[in-house]
Structure 1
Amino acid sequence: MQAMPLLSALTLAVLAAAPAAAQTVTVTPTLNTRLTWTDNVDTSARDPKQDWIVEVSPGVSVSRASGRFRGYLNASLRNLVHARETEDNETYLAFRGKGEFEAIENAVFIAASGSISRNDTSSFGRRYSGDELSASKGNETRVWSIAPRYEFRFGNAGAGRLGYESRWLQGGNNTLGDRQQHRWTLGLSDPGALRLFGWGVDYVRTDTRYEEGLGRDVMQETGRATLFVNLDPQFRVRLIGGYESNDYEVVDGEEGAIWGLGFDWYPTERTTVSATGEDRIFGTGYDVQIRHRMARSVWNLSVSRDITSSLDELAGGFVLDPVFQLFYQLTDPALPEAERISIAQAAYERAGGVGIRTNAYYLQRSARAGVTFTGARNTLSFSLRQTERERLNTFSGFLLTDDFTEFDYIKTRSASVSLSHKLSGLATLNGALTRSKSEGQGSSRREVDRSIFTVGVTRKLGSDTTGGLNYRYQKAEGTDDYTENAVTATLGMRF
């Protein structure tokens, strides 16, 4: 799996694409430092241990917002040094990048993305997933993808797409095994071909190959035909028929017809409602998306049930989560895109947005809702989420060393509230409170109730320098109790 060449390609593409418009490329070297005192640094010990942790992380943020290449990347070399628990010292590359190149105008596009991160792989860990101190090598995950596609138009309003995407996942020393996924897509549609009626067809085939000994190769094929009934410019109905097959549960595979119904409703320019329900081989599948925007608030709701995998989520699916979008809106618009996504992702993970890490596919049912209120000096967000993950009946050929080893069913619930208050033109007060609960059922049963509270102040010390002081409290109760108080001072510089 050629990870580093792809990382280099992403970097060079952002920096070198279309020299004629080089002024649109923004390159920002950064240096972020952090000093943390914690009263419970060792999550494996019963007795709390105090420690000081120093972090010095040089990095670079690159973005390009116009021309034939658009994209961003954010890379930093994280160096964490402990005063007492020196065996926990870590140095690693943290990276996230995404870009798209328009190779042939309005026809051929090539998208690429990559990420390197370290997160706790279990829903039942003592620290929450996304804790910046959970930086052990065993939790490192790398995901890379490259996706060329061809788009074309036909008739008055018809559109077609032919695409291919290759994804790589490298699990390092954690519970995830290395795998590669190949996905082919074909779509043709003309929703208004006959004014009242329109049509669409799409086909997707996904092949997943595992490192030897970790899992057998699996495949999924899905084909759908859609009849659009345009009852009104603001409302249309979708009638769906199709066929699907996969061998996730059993080696011989299973297959069956797809029958479904959906609608798209646009009552105002600020409101969109889309809902789909289908009869699938695993039962009822559905996807409901509601978004409403007002002058000073944004409301989001999504409900879905489908088969998915850790790779689908790690490859960037979380960016579409309405809860992630709420945290993204809390970030400073003046920051580079890569930094905004990185900050929003950290808050999203703290609110329970990261799923389990497993080698196998699973059936997931999720419900997520959130609202953000924006005032002259305040931004207030509320979010609720519930996710149920069910192990498919058999995992013949899969090596499981994750939460699904002992659980057939995992349920997580969380509620979060975040506030950003501008104290002045230079200083901002930030606070967040998250409550979550994880439950596992199967050969054993386990529950963890988690509370996380953070409050802090950030202040611009100069045009390119920002300092901050933050307090964090987290508590986990259940099978394995854990409590921590931490104070962190930060200093960040952009050059």
Structure 2
Amino acid sequence: MSILVLAMFMAMPAVAQTVTITPRLDTRLTWTDNVDTSDDNPQKDWIAEISPGIGLSRESGRFRGYLNASLRNLVHARKTEDNETYLALDGSGEFEAVEDTVFIALRGSISRTNTSAFSRRGSGDSLSAYKADETRMWSVAPRYQFRFGDAGFGRLGYESRWLAGGSGTLADTRQERWIVSVSDPSALRLFGWGVNLMRIDTSFEKGSNRNVVQEIGRATLFVNIDPQFRMRLIGGYESNDYELSDGEEGSIWGAGFDWYPTERTRLSVSGEDRIFGIGYDVRFRHRMARSTWNFSASRDISSTLDELAGGEILDPVFQLFYMRTDPSLPEAERMRQARAEYERAGGVGIRTNAYFLQRTIGGGVSFVGARNTLSFSIRRAERERLDAFSGFLAGDFSEFEYTDTRAASVTLLHRLTGTSNLNGSITRSNTEGRGINNQDVDRLLLNIGVTRRLSPDTTAGLNYRHTKSTGTDDYSENAISATLGMQF
């Protein structure tokens, strides 16, 4: 947190008028008929929350980014042992240290959400605030970049990432990434070239005392068919010791294309033969006057640290929720709202120290009318634990070798008046785990609520939520929340 705050305030004097500082106070009073997720006997309770916070945004000048922080205080009327106070934080920014040459990217987050995909409450539940579920992530990434020729571009970058979990849930993890990339896609007009080298060193501070390394090198031949269509031929080599104790290595062969038929449509496709089999990355986006369509599919090695360090921003489901936010709001507030919806729609993966082979597919469409916004989204994530990480893991991958999560959601935002909105959502998900034990959980989440702007700086709301989980562990809950939020 200190790094992000320091960088943002150092950048303020240059163009002070571009900085938006929004102190706020969020309050919530919730009644639930099943507060204890560890007990089979439903217990009713009242939970009061008073959370002062601040949002900072800067969208021009040498520093661009946002920081959103709040001190959450949850107080239970009956189950007082579950009272919690903690800092929730999310921030991201980039500082241009030397004009168009040297940049420093910063990222940080502190959150508490269920670390297991098989928990009774789903991810993003506002009442999930146990200390054991806290996850902290920090990232600092300086880079040097340069241009040459008509379209040549080069980059030399380093990134240091840290991941820590609460109460021993996760082993503290440190990741260092080195990247060297040089390309000129249109060097010979019809043909272009590119070279990319990357090395990732990961170390764990407890449990295994083991360091693992991944190295990837690629060379790309670009074939520029026309300004709207470009083909890519890919060759390279990679090695890692994620799967076998003595390492694994092999060649990379692949191809892809980029197609931009209009300013509103883009499609990028890549496929490669790699040491784990076929890897691919497909991204599609199409924007119309009243609708936006997104789709993506990928298969690659990933980790919790990769996802928390900003990978979710590329998810089309996240982009769908972000576009639904009010563009007049500060960036910090837009990101906060989008992430809350993304988590409730099943976008947050499991928390684990393991690297895993992940296959994801997701898509969404949003229809915008004069008074209504209707959105649909689907997402599926299959994760297969790599063998090198068995034996010292906490979380789901300590007992599962494979997990499969499927989720679909429908959301509706209806403008009742100029100052009030009706919003509703239905999310249905299924999660399977296979390994030492097998689990299967179906989850239904229904939300319906009304919000009203009482003044330019004050918003009130009333929300009903129904949660139901069936399968290995059954659970149901009904909750009613009244909210009052003030900005200063």
TM-score by length of 2: 0.99
Q: Would you say 1:474 and 2:480 are equivalent positions?
A: no
Letter of the aligned partner of 2:49 in structure 1?
A: E
Query: Paired residue for 2:300, among 291, 303, 306?
Result: 306
Q: In 2, Cα distance between the equivalents of 1:47 and 1:9?
A: 45
CA apart distance, 1:174: 4.7
Q: In 2, Cα distance between the equivalents of 1:394 and 1:184?
A: 22
Match runs of 1:110-189 below 5 Å? 110-189=104-183
Residue 326 (structure 1) aligns with:
320
Q: In 1, Cα distance between the equivalents of 2:14 and 2:214?
A: 43
Match runs of 1:15-414 below 5 Å? 15-395=9-389, 399-414=392-407
Query: Paired residue for 1:433, among 418, 426, 434?
Result: 426
Retained in 2: the 8 A contact 1:245–1:256? yes
Q: In 1, Cα distance between the equivalents of 2:308 and 2:225?
A: 38
Letter of the aligned partner of 1:189 in structure 2?
A: S
Secondary structure of the structure 1 residue equivalent to 2:167 = coil
Q: 1:148 to 1:358 in 2, by over 3 A?
A: same
Residue 443 (structure 1) aligns with:
436
Secondary structure of the structure 1 residue equivalent to 2:338 = helix
Letter of the aligned partner of 1:327 in structure 2?
A: F
Residue 4 (structure 1) aligns with:
none
Secondary structure of the structure 2 residue equivalent to 1:411 = strand
Letter of the aligned partner of 2:197 in structure 1?
A: Y
Q: In 1, Cα distance between the equivalents of 2:263 and 2:70?
A: 40
Q: In 1, Cα distance between the equivalents of 2:116 and 2:268?
A: 33
Q: In 1, Cα distance between the equivalents of 2:113 and 2:239?
A: 33
CA apart distance, 1:92: 0.2
- The one-character-per-residue Cα deviations of 1:8-62 (angstroms, maximum 9, x if unpaired) are 2211221231513111111111000000000000000011000000000001111
Residue 455 (structure 1) aligns with:
448
Q: In 2, Cα distance between the equivalents of 1:422 and 1:214?
A: 54
Retained in 2: the 8 A contact 1:53–1:80? yes
Q: In 1, Cα distance between the equivalents of 2:208 and 2:165?
A: 11
Identity between Structure 1 and Structure 2 (%): 69
Q: In 2, Cα distance between the equivalents of 1:8 and 1:280?
A: 40
Retained in 1: the 8 A contact 2:223–2:232? yes
Give the count of matched residue pairs: 488
Q: In 2, Cα distance between the equivalents of 1:214 and 1:311?
A: 17
- The one-character-per-residue Cα deviations of 1:226-261 (angstroms, maximum 9, x if unpaired) are 000111111111000000000011221110000001
- The one-character-per-residue Cα deviations of 1:237-288 (angstroms, maximum 9, x if unpaired) are 1000000000011221110000001000111111101000000000000000
Structure 1: state its 5+ residue gaps: 1-6
Retained in 2: the 8 A contact 1:185–1:205? yes
Residue 3 (structure 1) aligns with:
none
Q: In 2, Cα distance between the equivalents of 1:16 and 1:202?
A: 33
Q: In 2, Cα distance between the equivalents of 1:480 and 1:20?
A: 56
- The one-character-per-residue Cα deviations of 1:422-467 (angstroms, maximum 9, x if unpaired) are 1011001110000000011122211000000000000000110000
- The one-character-per-residue Cα deviations of 1:298-349 (angstroms, maximum 9, x if unpaired) are 1011010001001001111111110011111222222221111111111111
Retained in 1: the 8 A contact 2:12–2:19? no
Retained in 2: the 8 A contact 1:464–1:493? yes
Q: 1:351 to 1:32 in 2, by over 3 A?
A: same
Q: 1:18 to 1:330 in 2, by over 3 A?
A: closer
Letter of the aligned partner of 2:177 in structure 1?
A: R
Which sits farther off after the overlay, 68-77 or 209-218?
Answer: 209-218
Q: In 2, Cα distance between the equivalents of 1:494 and 1:106?
A: 36
Letter of the aligned partner of 1:220 in structure 2?
A: Q
TM-score by length of 1: 0.97
Q: In 1, Cα distance between the equivalents of 2:388 and 2:179?
A: 28
Q: 1:18 to 1:31 in 2, by over 3 A?
A: closer
Q: 1:20 to 1:361 in 2, by over 3 A?
A: closer
Q: Calculate the aligned-residue CA RMSD, in Å.
A: 1.0
Structure 2: state its 5+ residue gaps: none
